[in-house]
């Protein structure tokens, strides 16, 4: 009865913003459920393979119609025209996430990994509201055992941990991510309007967006973990300090972990993985990353972002092979090497975020040219000069105190002195301190097992958080500060994808 109530509540939550989206979701689920039931009944490899293909094709057609139809029409025709009218269908929230979960479920049903799950458990697995909108992309082997658990749980502990983790995530979103966005948006807006940024402006905008996206996605991941824990459900870890990665390979083990897992298990491995030679391996890596980029958005800028990460991964694998060839693999454990590798990885990731955020390829190229001094303008060599010799001020930078307290939207006309730059650098500096030197949410709550993990991620022990009055008071203050910002909060960035 509890599972049925939770499933119905999740559907109500999803349908609150749009009844049409709920109808689309239910239609998608019913078709997938019928396909899964048929796979459980029918024998014969050819018949079962055909059922799986039909189920996958249905899901791809659903996401293709709502998310990629106009993109393909525009790309094919060179732009919208009278014979290629764009439909601009509204994108159902979370369709990218629940479609992938249903594809994985169908594939595993074909492999006979999925057996004996009731209709209600299947529905709750797909619709569970903490992860329905923007992930993590959960797997049935993680969720179904929790749904089937009959032993009594310590509900008060789950509730306390859930509220605590949720509070940390809400603070990241309302105070940090939305605060730093005021330094990112004007730079990309100026590039989109045809303006050319100078070196410092381009890097401030790119770094600000990199930190905005980091805290925004980290916030949602924390809030999903917290909400799930309130109901006694432990969701998989989806975010693990990715900017601390010392390679692009490690970055994808830390960023959107469940998406990386899905692409690995249901795309990279079926394509052959690394089992068919190095050339095929690199082709598979590039194909997976381009499709991963396209999954994030229907635009060539997302394809470019995916291709850049595919290129970075190919270089990373090649570099590792080169070190192994000369017997230098142990150098990766050298502290100086690791710090240098983290810096190189971070700069690469920040550079790739530019086309991810930019409105089109032209503005992305313009910002990247400014970041690497390819426009021919002056390069400020030292932060100690406080960037006061800039020629092209960017309209729209806000006083950071007004952003944090009031979210006022009155823009300044230009950087007329170095005070505004001091504030921008201060914001970026404190973001970097949080990102690179402070424990993440999983590490903070680690001894209470806040998330499901795999691989080499520590599973328990050492977390700073304790169930104590002092921590309760601190988290209450964090929650209060977050709630005060709710009237002015912006949507999560991953809702766009």
Domain residues of the chain, as ranges?
2-151, 156-496
Distance CA 372, CA 333 (A): 30
Phi, psi (deg, nearest 5) at residue 255: -100, 130
Name beta bridge partners: 81.
84
* Mean pLDDT value of segment 10-26: 90
Tens of pLDDT along 121-179? 999 999 999 988 887 999 988 888 888 774 445 678 889 899 999 999 999 999 899 88
* pLDDT tens string 166-188: 999 999 999 899 888 888 888 89
pLDDT at 91: 82
> Is 296 a known active-site residue?
yes
Q: Per-residue confidence at 373, pLDDT binned at 50, 70, 90?
A: confident
User: Rounded to two decimals, what is the model's pTM?
Assistant: 0.86
Q: Which pairs count as long-range contacts for 286-294, CB under 8 Å and 24+ apart, including other chains?
A: 286/310, 286/311, 286/314, 288/263, 288/264, 289/313, 291/263, 291/267, 292/259, 292/263, 294/68
Query: Which position among 117, 296, 309, 317 bears the catalytic label?
Result: 296
**Cα–Cα distance for residue pair 396/273, rounded to 1 Å:** 47
Using CB atoms within 10 A of its CB, is residue 270 exposed (0-12), middle (13-18) or buried (19+)?
exposed
> With bands split at pLDDT 50, 70 and 90, how would you rate the model's confidence at 388?
very low
Q: What is the pLDDT of residue 43?
A: 83
CA distance 133 to 437: 30
Q: What's the CA dihedral at 378, 381, 387, 391 to 10 degrees?
A: 0
Residue partners of 191: CB distance under 8 A and separation at least 6: 197, 205, 358, 363, 364, 366, 367
Between 371 and 422, the more confident residue is: 371
How confident is the model at residue 460, as a pLDDT?
56
Residue 455's pLDDT is 67
pLDDT at res. 397: 37
pLDDT of residue 459: 61
The CA-based angle 451-455-458, given to 5 degrees, is 55
Q: Tell me the per-residue pLDDT of 276-297, one tens digit each, with 9 for 90 and over.
A: 788 888 999 999 999 999 998 8
Confidence band for 393, pLDDT divided at 50, 70 and 90: very low
Looking at residue 233, the DSSP 8-state letter turns out to be: -
């Amino acid at each position: 009865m509890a599972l049925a109530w939770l499933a119905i509540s999740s559907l109500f939550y999803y349908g609150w913003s749009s009844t049409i989206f709920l109808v689309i979701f239910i239609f998608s689920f019913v078709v997938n459920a019928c396909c899964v039931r048929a796979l459980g009944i029918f024998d014969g490899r050819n018949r079962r393979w055909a059922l799986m293909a039909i189920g996958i094709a249905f899901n791809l057609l659903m996401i293709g119609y709502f998310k990629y139809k106009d993109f393909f029409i525009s790309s094919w025709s060179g732009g919208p025209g009278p014979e290629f009218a764009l439909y601009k269908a509204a994108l159902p929230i979370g369709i990218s996430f629940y479609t992938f979960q249903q594809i994985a479920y169908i594939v595993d049903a074909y492999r006979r990994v999925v057996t004996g799950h009731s209709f209600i458990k299947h529905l709750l697995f797909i619709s569970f509201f903490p992860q329905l909108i923007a992930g993590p992309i959960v797997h049935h082997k993680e969720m179904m055992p929790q749904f089937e658990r009959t032993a009594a749980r310590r509900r008060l502990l789950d509730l306390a941990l859930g509220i605590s983790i949720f509070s940390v995530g809400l603070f990241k979103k309302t105070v940090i991510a939305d605060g730093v966005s005021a330094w990112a948006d004007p730079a990309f807006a100026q590039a989109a309007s045809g303006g050319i940024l100078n070196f410092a402006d381009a890097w401030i905008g790119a770094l600000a967006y990199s930190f905005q996206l980091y805290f925004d996605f980290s916030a949602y991941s924390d809030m999903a973990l917290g909400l799930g824990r309130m109901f006694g459900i432990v969701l998989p870890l989806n975010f693990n300090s990715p900017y601390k990665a010392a390679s692009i390979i490690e970055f994808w083990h830390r960023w959107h972990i469940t998406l990386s897992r899905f692409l690995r298990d249901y795309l990279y491995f079926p394509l052959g993985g690394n089992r068919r030679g190095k050339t095929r391996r690199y082709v598979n890596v590039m194909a997976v990353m381009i499709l991963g980029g396209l999954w994030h958005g229907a635009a060539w800028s997302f394809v470019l972002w995916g291709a850049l990460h595919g290129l970075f991964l190919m270089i990373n694998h090649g570099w590792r092979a080169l070190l192994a060839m000369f017997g230098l693999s142990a150098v990766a454990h050298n502290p100086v090497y690791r710090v240098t590798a983290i810096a190189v990885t971070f700069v690469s990731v920040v550079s790739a975020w530019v086309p991810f955020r930019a409105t089109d390829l032209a503005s992305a190229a313009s910002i990247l040219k400014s970041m690497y001094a390819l426009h021919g303008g002056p390069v400020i060599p030292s932060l100690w000069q406080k960037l006061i010799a800039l020629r092209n001020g960017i309209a729209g930078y806000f006083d950071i105190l007004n952003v944090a307290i009031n979210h006022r939207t009155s823009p300044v006309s230009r950087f007329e002195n170095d005070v505004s730059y001091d504030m921008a650098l201060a914001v970026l500096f404190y973001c970097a301190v949080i990102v690179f030197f402070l424990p993440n949410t999983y590490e903070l709550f680690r001894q209470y097992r806040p998330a499901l993990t795999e691989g080499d991620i520590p599973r328990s022990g050492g977390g700073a958080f304790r169930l104590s009055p002092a921590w309760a008071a601190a988290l209450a203050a964090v929650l209060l500060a977050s709630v005060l910002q709710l009237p002015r909060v912006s949507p999560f960035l991953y809702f766009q994808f």
